Amino acid sequence: MSESTQQSYRPSRAGGADRSGNGHGVPIELVGVTKRYPGQRAAAVDNVSMHVPAGEIVVFVGPSGCGKTTTMKMINRLIEPTSGQILLDGDDVGRRNADDLRRGIGYVIQAGGLFPHLTVGANIGLVPGLLKWKSSRTAERVDELLDMVGLDPAQYRDRYPRELSGGQQQRVGVARALAADPPVLLMDEPFGALDPITRQHLQDELLRIQEELGKTIVFVTHDFDEAVKLGDRIAVLAERSRIVQYDTPAEILSNPADESVEGFVGAGAALKQLTLRRVGGVELDEAVTATVGEQANEALARTRAAGRENCILLDERRRPVRWLSLRELGRERGSLAARRRDEGLAVVGTQATLNDALDTMLTSSHGVVVVTGRRDTYQGVIRVETVMNAIQELQSGAQSGAHPAGPGGEPAARPDDPSADGSGTAGTAGVAR
Ligand SMILES: Nc1ncnc2c1ncn2[C@@H]1O[C@H](COP(=O)(O)OP(=O)(O)OP(=O)(O)O)[C@@H](O)[C@H]1O
């Protein structure tokens, strides 16, 4: 076996420092795990050992066919390993009843994997039902979870999956996986089929939920930016799930283990660092706000005095509704009327990355994006200048060699390297961004 010397990867650095939340997640240990599919000469997964710390999100990235899904599915025994052991909180999963095991591990796949003939409520209540929860407890849990994933229970619990958008189906998929409060979630490209903005919102939701719940999450993706955003750690895998690097996103971006990792970190390393910076972690810009019910002429005077062309209208719960221009404010008489929320309003949550903020600005073609916190309340704005400054800071860090230095001290981003365009080198061919 060529990879028989694979080491056990036990990360030493704390990743999402306080993400372990209530410590609900449990550690997962893969010990020399091999999978050989019948009739295949080469193993699909060859002697992989790895430690997934409790309460962390570990993301598997790697080229198509390298064994990510096989490795993940051996954790809940949807695929049985040929040899090796997988320990969940120290217990060998191979000794557990496979059905019981799976009821204790949430599993989310692309497109939600919902049962089309069951309502949203019945889909979410499936595992609690199997666990013989009282129906009142299950019903309560369904509503609690719908709320948690941002869907109004009254509006959605009795709908069928076909009556939901792709993003909503995926939210229900996450709710279903969380239903019985399992310590471990396995997520196999859960957001892969969604458009970029919906994908970004679901990533933010996942991070928010994880902050509260502190599950142990193994997440498979093709998207390196998604890995950097979500992962406390990223496992970069190569053929037969060989672990090329297992580290924090910051470490992988600044110290790629070899040329294959460099290949998909690529020349955009400085830009990708934007993915490491959360909107909640930068000083927000200020904007003028006006609240429904206040006198329009006061809001107008305030906006003018601040030298601004627009102000943000907030509803009575301080949720942003829309931008109002000086002209619109000038037309208002008396107090500001409640208005319908502008569906196109560019908004990001505090969990979003600066990269998300920039994307949202680009797609909305406004140079500013509104930032909201818990319960969608207004926190401030981010202007394009702030993102540009951050990019410049990161780039000057990279150029001076202060930040992304490769293992030999050379800058990780090598613009003259033909392989450093994000399309991958031989070892990582097919790793999409
Ligand atoms: N049931 C099966 N029988 C035989 N070979 C299989 C089976 N399932 C997967 N394989 C092979 O095992 C290898 C690993 O597949 P796996 O689906 O784990 O890769 P992956 O990294 O998740 O790929 P992708 O990113 O394309 O989903 C591939 O070469 C695949 O062809």
The pTM of the whole model exceeds 0.80 = no
From first to last of the 433 residues of the chain, give the pLDDT tens digit.
333 334 344 443 333 333 333 448 999 999 999 999 998 888 999 999 999 999 999 999 988 889 999 999 999 999 999 999 999 999 999 999 998 898 889 999 887 788 999 999 999 998 888 888 999 999 999 999 998 888 899 999 999 999 998 889 988 999 999 888 899 999 999 988 788 887 888 898 889 889 888 999 999 998 888 998 999 999 999 899 999 999 999 888 888 888 878 876 765 666 677 788 888 888 898 899 999 999 999 999 999 999 998 999 999 999 999 999 999 999 988 899 888 888 888 899 998 888 888 888 877 767 889 999 888 899 999 988 888 887 777 766 655 544 333 333 333 332 233 333 333 222 222 222 2
Residue 58: beta bridge partners? 218, 233
Q: How far apart are CA 44 and CA 38, in angstroms?
A: 10
- In angstroms, the Cα distances linking 293 to 281, 290, 317, 334 are 32, 9, 12, 9
Token pair of 368, please?
Answer: 């500013």
DSSP state of 97: -
Residue 389: per-residue pLDDT? 82
Task: Indicate which CATH number applies to the domain containing 137.
Answer: 3.40.50.300
How far apart are the CA of 318 and the centre of ligand 1, in A? 49
Tell me the pairing of strands 233-238 and 242-247. antiparallel
Query: CA-based angle 182:66:205, to the nearest 5?
Result: 35
Q: For tokens 């919906």, name the residue.
A: 198
Residue 21: per-residue pLDDT? 39
Q: Is residue 202 a part of any domain in this protein?
A: yes
Q: Is the CB of 65 under 6 A from ligand 1?
A: yes
CB 275 within 8 A of CB 224: no
Q: How far apart are CA 410 and CA 425, in angstroms?
A: 18
Residue 410: per-residue pLDDT? 30
Q: Is the CB of 240 under 6 A from ligand 1?
A: no
Question: Total structural domains in the chain?
Answer: 2
Q: Is the CB of 67 under 6 A from ligand 1?
A: yes
Residue 169: per-residue pLDDT? 92
Domain span at residue 237? 28-266
Token pair of 60, please?
Answer: 């598997």
Q: Is the CB of 38 under 6 A from ligand 1?
A: no
**What residue spans of 214-353 are helical by DSSP H?**
224-230, 249-254, 259-265, 269-272, 296-305, 326-331
Q: Taking each helix axis as running N to C, give the angle between helix 354-364 and helix 384-399, from 0 to 180 degrees, rounded to the nearest 10.
A: 130
How far apart are the CA of 82 and the centre of ligand 1, in A? 15
Q: Is residue 408 a part of any domain in this protein?
A: no
Atom of ligand 1 nearest to the CA of 60: 21
Domain termination residue (choose one: 241, 266, 291)? 266
Residue 393: per-residue pLDDT? 75
How far apart are the CA of 71 and the centre of ligand 1, in A? 10
Atom of ligand 1 nearest to the CA of 241: 21
Atom of ligand 1 nearest to the CA of 39: 4
Domain termination residue (choose one: 208, 234, 266)? 266
Residue 398: per-residue pLDDT? 54
Q: How far apart are CA 248 and CA 11, in angstroms?
A: 9
How far apart are the CA of 381 and the centre of ligand 1, in A? 44
Residues 196 and 318 both lie in one domain? no
Residues 78 and 153 both lie in one domain? yes
